[in-house]
Structure 1
Amino acid sequence: MKKILIILIAVISITLVAFFGWYLFLRDPDIPAGETIRNILPFGSGGDVASRPTTNNSQPTTDLTEPVDEFGNPTATLFRLSNTPVAGAVVLDRGNQTIVRYVDRATGHIYDTDLETLEKTKVTNNTLPKIYEAYFRPDGNAVLLRSLKDNSDVIENLSLTLTPPKATVSTSSPQASTLYAVSSTALRGDISAVVAGSGNTLIYVLRDNSSIVSSTFNGTGAKTLLTSPFTDWRLNTAGNSLIAYTKASADAPGYAYALNTSNGVLTKILGPLNGLTTTQNSLGNRILYSYVEDNKMRSFTKNLTSSALSEISPTTLAEKCIWSIKKAGILFCAAPADAPGALEPDLWYRGATHFSDRIWLFDTNTDIARVLAEPKQSLRIDIDVFEPKLSPDEDYLIFINKTDLSLWALRLEAF
Structure 2
Amino acid sequence: MSTTKKKYIVLVLVVLIGLLVALFSWSQKDQEGSTGGLFSFFGSGDIKDPTPGGVNGDGTGNVSENPSGTTDVSLPYRKITDGPISGFSIATESAEGISLVYQERAQGYVQRISTNGNAAVRFSSTTFPGVYESVFGKLGQMAYVRTLTDEEMVKTTLFSTSKDVSHVLPNNIASIVASPDTQKAFYLAPSSNGLVGYTTTFDTASPKKIFSSRLSELVASWTSPSFITLTSKASAYAPGSISLLNTKTLAQTTVLVGKTGLTGNLSYDGSTLLYGAIVDSRYSNHILSLASGVDTVAPFTTIPEKCLWEKKNVKKIVCAVPTAMPSANYPDDWYQGTVGFTDTIWVFDLATGSSDARAALPAGVDAISLTLNSEESFLFFINKNDGSLWMADL
Class of the TM-score when normalised by the shorter of the 2 chains: 0.7 to 0.9
Structure 2: tracts of 5 or more residues without a match: 1-73
- The whole-number CA distance in structure 2 between the counterparts of 1:382 and 1:188 is 36
Q: Is the 8 A contact 2:154 2:171 kept in 1?
A: no
Measured after TM superposition, the shift of residue 342 of structure 1 is 4.5
Aligned to 2:53: none
Measured after TM superposition, the shift of residue 296 of structure 1 is 2.1
Aligned to 2:82: 83
Measured after TM superposition, the shift of residue 76 of structure 1 is 6.4
Amino acid at match of 1:382: G
* Largest Rg, 1 or 2: 1
SS in 1 for 2:161: strand
Q: Is the 8 A contact 2:199 2:208 kept in 1?
A: yes
- The whole-number CA distance in structure 1 between the counterparts of 2:268 and 2:172 is 28
- The whole-number CA distance in structure 1 between the counterparts of 2:248 and 2:380 is 32
- The whole-number CA distance in structure 2 between the counterparts of 1:118 and 1:280 is 36
Aligned to 1:203: 186
The 1:128–1:199 alpha-carbon spacing in structure 2 relative to 1, beyond 3 Å, is: closer
- Provide the aligned length of Structure 1 versus Structure 2: 316
Aligned to 2:110: 110
- The whole-number CA distance in structure 1 between the counterparts of 2:156 and 2:305 is 23
- The whole-number CA distance in structure 2 between the counterparts of 1:369 and 1:375 is 17
Amino acid at match of 1:84: G
Is it true that 1:353 corresponds to 2:353 in the alignment? no
Structure 1: tracts of 5 or more residues without a match: 1-74, 164-180
Is it true that 1:255 corresponds to 2:214 in the alignment? no
- The whole-number CA distance in structure 2 between the counterparts of 1:117 and 1:353 is 33
The 1:118–1:333 alpha-carbon spacing in structure 2 relative to 1, beyond 3 Å, is: farther
The 1:94–1:360 alpha-carbon spacing in structure 2 relative to 1, beyond 3 Å, is: closer
Is it true that 1:382 corresponds to 2:364 in the alignment? yes
SS in 2 for 1:191: coil
- The whole-number CA distance in structure 2 between the counterparts of 1:113 and 1:90 is 11
- The whole-number CA distance in structure 2 between the counterparts of 1:76 and 1:370 is 12
Aligned to 2:43: none
Measured after TM superposition, the shift of residue 142 of structure 1 is 0.8
SS in 2 for 1:339: coil
SS in 2 for 1:139: helix
The 1:138–1:303 alpha-carbon spacing in structure 2 relative to 1, beyond 3 Å, is: farther
Q: 2:311 aligns with which of 321, 325, 329?
A: 325
Aligned to 1:177: none
- The whole-number CA distance in structure 2 between the counterparts of 1:391 and 1:206 is 31
Q: Is the 8 A contact 2:91 2:99 kept in 1?
A: yes
- The whole-number CA distance in structure 2 between the counterparts of 1:323 and 1:375 is 20
Q: 1:187 aligns with which of 169, 188, 197?
A: 169
Q: Is the 8 A contact 1:211 1:231 kept in 2?
A: no
SS in 2 for 1:207: strand
Measured after TM superposition, the shift of residue 233 of structure 1 is 0.9
Q: 2:210 aligns with which of 222, 225, 228?
A: 225
Aligned to 1:293: 279
- The whole-number CA distance in structure 2 between the counterparts of 1:264 and 1:231 is 20
Calculate the TM-score normalised by the size of structure 1. 0.72
Is it true that 1:238 corresponds to 2:237 in the alignment? no
- The whole-number CA distance in structure 2 between the counterparts of 1:359 and 1:190 is 34
- The whole-number CA distance in structure 2 between the counterparts of 1:112 and 1:310 is 42
Q: Is the 8 A contact 2:153 2:171 kept in 1?
A: no
Calculate the TM-score normalised by the size of structure 2. 0.76
Measured after TM superposition, the shift of residue 263 of structure 1 is 4.2
Q: Is the 8 A contact 1:248 1:254 kept in 2?
A: yes
SS in 2 for 1:267: strand
